[in-house]
Amino acid sequence: MSGLLAYVSRRLAVTFLILLAVSFAVYLIFAFLPFDPASLTCGKNCNDPGIIEANRIRLGYDKPFYEQYWVFLVGLFAGRNYGEGAAAIHCAAPSFGYSFQQHACVTDLIGEALPVTLALAIGALVLWLILGIGLGVLSARFRGRVLDTVSTIFVLIGTSLPTFLTGLMLIIFVVIKWHLLPFPAGGYLSPFEDFPGWLNTMILPWITLAFAYAALYTRFVRSQVIETSTEDYIRTARAKGLSEGVILGKHTLRAALAPIATMAGLDFAGLMGGAILTEAVFNLPGLGRLSLGAVLDYDLPIIVATTLLAATIVVMMNLVLDLVYAFIDPRVRV
């Protein structure tokens, strides 16, 4: 137990240092871009020197880089005020900045977009794991037969079609031509306000993402199951007279799922950064659309915040996977 606690402590310390280094690198990159960030706070065609200078002072761009970065770090834990006196704008912790383009604290904008992306990522994850693992196991179990051929065709189509084309085809056929689902008018709905409407809004984006990822997982699971089936302990289990179902469920699939868990965790973390194309096709106000809008509008605080958030999610997911492996396999702690 002490070994596990020591390993967890080490991993937490390393993760903290990595997050600090990532935040510094991201802040450094955007701080030294070849343009004046203050000139982007009042629109693309802003040419009023007074407004630009006032915004530069309010956002702290007039200070040295190291002081800007320190104020940014403090704001993450204690919040931050932009400006002074009655005109000051307060953004509560964790403060990622203030968007003059949207006249809102970046944290509030992320707080509105994050639940949409989280719902999209979780729903797609569940679907692609069920479909990908199921088809992969069946394909390996009936290798060389009709089911294996069907899964191979599914893999080829799924890995070839881009997600935006899959989404458009679903809208054209499922909604417009076949009328299997009503068109989600009015944009995103909260599941706490209208659960059936929320399902209607999310089902096609889930299928769009799951279709692409399930194809990759089908191929990966198939190869893992086939490779594991050739191990000596699997032959020993067959020699003992165990049924193929027991061998598959208790031995083959259990061993093959370890790398699948790593793959799923990292894919989920990457998706939490925002599924830009899928969110754009289905008009979902998630992190992907927020990031894309920030790039088009030159909204630097949002770009920095979403970049940091995506990197943080990936780093934290790596930490979770390391801790899960350390709990399952004591050899990882060494």
Quick check: is 222 in a domain?
yes
Q: What confidence score (pLDDT) does residue 227 get? A: 86
Task: Take residue 246 and report the two structure tokens written for it.
Answer: 């027991």
Q: Which pLDDT score, from 0 to 100, does residue 39 have?
A: 80
CATH of the domain at 198: 1.10.3720.10
Report how many domains make up the chain.
1
Taking each helix axis from N to C terminus, what angle separates 287-297 and 300-328, rounded to the nearest 10 degrees? 150
Residue 138 lies in a domain: yes
Calculate the alpha carbon distances from 22 to 222, 225, 312 in Å: 36, 37, 8
**Mean pLDDT to the nearest integer, 82-105:** 86
Q: Considering the domain boundaries, does residue 58 fall inside one?
A: no
Query: 144 vs 132, 148, 149, 311, 319, CA distance in Å?
Result: 18, 6, 7, 42, 39
The domain of 141 spans 111-286
Indicate whether 331 pLDDT > 70.
Answer: no
What's the pTM value of the predicted model, to 2 decimals? 0.87
pLDDT in tens, 271-320: 887 688 899 889 899 999 999 888 888 888 898 899 889 888 988 888 88
Q: If you average pLDDT over each of 94-108, 241-255, 318-332, which comes out highest?
A: 94-108
Q: Flag whether 249 is in a domain.
A: yes
What is the tens place of the pLDDT at every residue in 210-266?
999 999 999 999 998 888 888 888 888 888 888 877 887 777 777 777 788 888 988
Cβ–Cβ < 8 Å for 154, 269: no
What pLDDT is stored for residue 105 in this prediction? 94
Q: What is the pLDDT of residues 140-194, one digit of tens each?
A: 888 889 999 999 999 999 999 999 899 999 999 998 999 888 776 556 788 888 8
The answer to whether residue 60 sits within a structural domain is no
pLDDT of residue 47 exceeding 80, the answer is: no
Is residue 102 predicted with pLDDT exceeding 70? Answer: yes
Assess if residue 77 is contained within a domain: no
pLDDT band per the 50, 70, 90 thresholds, residue 75: very high
14 in a domain, yes or no? Answer: no
Residue 25 in any domain: the answer is: no
User: Confidence band (pLDDT; 50, 70, 90) for 30?
Assistant: confident
Give the best-scoring range by mean pLDDT among 41-45, 81-85, 236-240, 292-296.
292-296
Cross-strand pairs, 91: 80
